[in-house]
Structure 1
Amino acid sequence: MSPPVRATIGDRAAAPSVLTPPTAGGLTWRPWTPADVPALAALMRAVQEADGRDWFTPAEEIAETFGAPAYETADTLVGLDADGTPLAYAHAEQFPTDGAGLLRVWLHGGVHPDRRGEGIGTELLAWASGRARQVLAASDGDPRLAGLPARIAVDLLDTDPPERRDLLRAGGFEPVRYYANLLRDLAAPVPAVGLEPPLRLVPWTDALEDAARLARNDAFRDHWGSQPRTAESWRAHRSSFARDWSFVVVDESVRYPGSEHEAPGDTTVAPGTPYVVGLHRAGRYEHDWATQGYTAGYTELLGVRRAYRGRRIAVALLTHALRVFADDGMQHAELDVDTDNPTGAPALYTRLGYTKSEGSTLYAIEL
């Protein structure tokens, strides 16, 4: 029996032809501009502080939005009072579709704590969801994309106000995935874990960027919701990238061209480049250390090519990172993990002394 034919994304998205900005609260609405970055950073901090968070979105990350690979001006909205002060915001974040097996739009937004309870958040979520549906429906004309599944998603911390969950459920969102933020005290001893030749751990360099990207794409092919990263998207959102805390493992017996798992026609890696089989990419979020009450090295990505699993590459990368974090004066190591990670990563982190500090839930509308 042949599988059922999925309706095209144009039909499934049911996109509105016109988006109506919120009317609640009497604010004036328009898209973001680069000049808004400082005021948006202040608004987001006020929202996040009111929600009980101790980490915040810095101006540098907001500024990167405007250069993101799939960014469009129409994806953003800010509500201003009579004095021109931003009091509410939304962003329907698009992602590149090259090689994708899932179409995605992530929603971000918030209302200043002084203006909550006026219905602004409900109307803002409706606007953002409508924009997401428009973005997804725009893929309908591409035969490679029209039949793909699609997701509109929102991340919610466990500490966020309960009314936000009610808002999402009322908007058609359901919880679909759970994540844990983990901390590890760097005062505790770190085991020494070596690699057997021809495997070798080496620093992160510009010459290995795309080799690392292809290793990441292979490593995360079996992770829920993960999509391949293009050369452009891989280099985006790097304001907090910590090169000195980032490393790769190469197989010195192999040179590119790589394995059959590489994207056909990908010419981003020069022939003869060492074959990257594992990676640790780190972030330095120094702007959060004072409010969090500790310094930390953050592991943003830890992955191993599927053909190389079982050779202690991940533990070698992570223990090396722990030592480097500690040598740089950090008090903790930190990372986030999918609680249903298929590689057994949560067990690895537990063995290395990581413990849960907080959690989050992914709410989604699946189309």
Structure 2
Amino acid sequence: MIPDQNRFESDPDAALGPVVGLPPGWSVGSPDAADRFDVARLARLLRDHERHGRGWAGAGVDDVLVEVSEHGLRMRENVVVRDADGEIQAWGSVHDRSVGRMLFVHVVARDLPDDIADRCAELLVEWARAQARAVGAARGLTTQQIDTGAFQGDERQARWLRESGFERVRTWWQMSRPVVPAELGLVPDPAHWEKDGVVIRLVRHGDGGLPDEDDLRRMHDVLEGAFVDHFNSSEETFEEFLHRLREDPGHRWDHWWLAELVDGPEPVPVGALVGTVSETRGGPDGSYVSYLGVLSAARGRGVAKGLLRTIVADAALRERDRVGLEVDADSPTGAAGLYTSMGWATKYVTESWHRDVPVA
């Protein structure tokens, strides 16, 4: 269940204690989601971070509000470092992602002197460690993982993580595939089609337009089962799953597909794909594969390929120009080979860095 109150320590002073090592007049506090200047500054920091790490920026105000809004704070907490003029120069965010797994994002302004930037980064990591202890204790754990990331080649971010006790544990290929209008014909109908005993369809909707809860639970069950043996998988309740995915600015209910085997007495859910919209300012939008999972018992039936063909055909129907996804570069499932064979190519690379924090 989603907690009525989040499991983090909301007071930065209580989490960090006395702060030293910052220039005179600098302070540590919380961002104000109702202050458009704070939100705009956080968006600029995030965009500068992306531009340095991969060559272009994609984040916007909506991405910031996922982290700092009242709705987002049900499962998150934030801290900022302000200079003597009140301008935000560093930002940290933590997300109670699932049992034993806390996501951590930290961004420091690129134009700060090295010694000040280093101190800001140290403070953000110290704060994240305190939050890991808080959320781990609230969940009754003895150890809490901090899961953070960096763009491959961002040596400043990698140095901060390495010096703070994080270990680089995984590499991820961020892939993209162009879409052309003719690919609408990849499947008979992106909303519902069948081949070789497999039906791929959108989740059902009721009279009020909301998705059928039984279908959503089938999606959750399939994805939990499909990823149970994958890298860093951890249990996530149905309520947490829906809450998190609905926060995505690109969330759309008509981008959720379920695959079922229908060659038995009853349909059996075996695959699921959660898609989102990747909006582009001044250009065509794209689609994105947030989740694709197939139960092991159904592998070899063409389910994954069918789901991928469906989202590509759907993107063509919507006049989008691309479909993106992320793949574990070290995955033993051969997913990367499937994606490459279907036209996906790596656009940039990210890394996962982990640190385990004793809760006591």
Corresponding residue for 2:179? 186
Asked if structure 2 preserves the Cα contact closer than 8 Å seen for 1:89 and 1:109, the reply is: yes
Gaps of 5+ in 2: 1-13, 189-193, 205-210
* 2:36 aligned with 1:29: no
Gaps of at least 5 residues in structure 1 are 1-15, 98-102, 256-273
What is the DSSP-based 3-state SS (H/G/I as helix, E as strand, rest coil) of the residue aligned with 1:145? coil
In 2, the alpha carbon distance for the partners of 1:350 and 1:241 equals: 26
Deviations 1:341-361 (A, max 9, x none): 232211111111111111111
Letter in 2 for 1:151: Q
- With structure 1 as the length reference, what TM-score do the two structures score? 0.76
Q: Which amino acid aligns with 2:123?
A: W
What amino acid is the match of 2:159?
D
| Map 1:15-54 → 2, pairs under 5 A | 18-21=16-19, 23-26=21-24, 27-35=26-34, 36-54=38-56
Aligned Cα RMSD in Å? Answer: 2.9
Determine if the alignment matches structure 1 residue 354 to structure 2 residue 344.
Answer: yes
Q: Within 1, Cα distance between the matches of 2:290 and 2:196?
A: 25
Contact 2:54 2:348 in 1 (8 A): no
Asked whether the equivalents of residues 21 and 124 of structure 1 are also in contact (C-alpha less than 8 Å), the reply is: no
CA 1:85–1:135: 2 relative to 1, 3 Å: closer
Say which of 174, 181, 200 aligns to 2:167: 174
Query: Match for residue 71 of structure 1?
Result: 75
CA deviation after TM superposition for structure 1 residue 240, in Å: 1.1
User: Higher strand share goes to which structure?
Assistant: 2
- Counterpart mapping for 1:256-271 below 5 A: none
Deviation, 1:159, is 4.5
Amino acid at match of 1:133: R
**1:220 aligned residue:** 227
Structure 2 distance, partners of 1:211, 1:69, is 27
CA contact (8 A) 1:125 1:171 kept: no
Distance change in 2, residues 1:305/1:337 (3 Å): same
Per the TM alignment, residue 55 of structure 1 is displaced from its structure 2 partner at its CA by 3.2
Amino acid at match of 2:227: F
- Distance across 2 between alignment mates of 1:68 and 1:254: 43
Alignment partners' CA distance in 1, 2:289 and 2:173: 13
Aligned residues: 319
Q: 1:131 offset after TM fit, Å? A: 3.1
Over 3 Å counting, the alpha-carbon distance change for 1:318 and 1:283 in structure 2 is same
Residue 157 of structure 2 corresponds to 164
Deviation at 1:329, TM superposition (A): 1.4
Q: Offset of 1:83 from its aligned partner?
A: 3.4
For residue 272 of structure 2, the aligned residue among 272, 276, 279 is: 279
TM-score, normalised with respect to structure 2: 0.78
Is the contact made by 2:279 and 2:285 (CA closer than 8 Å) also made in structure 1?
Answer: yes
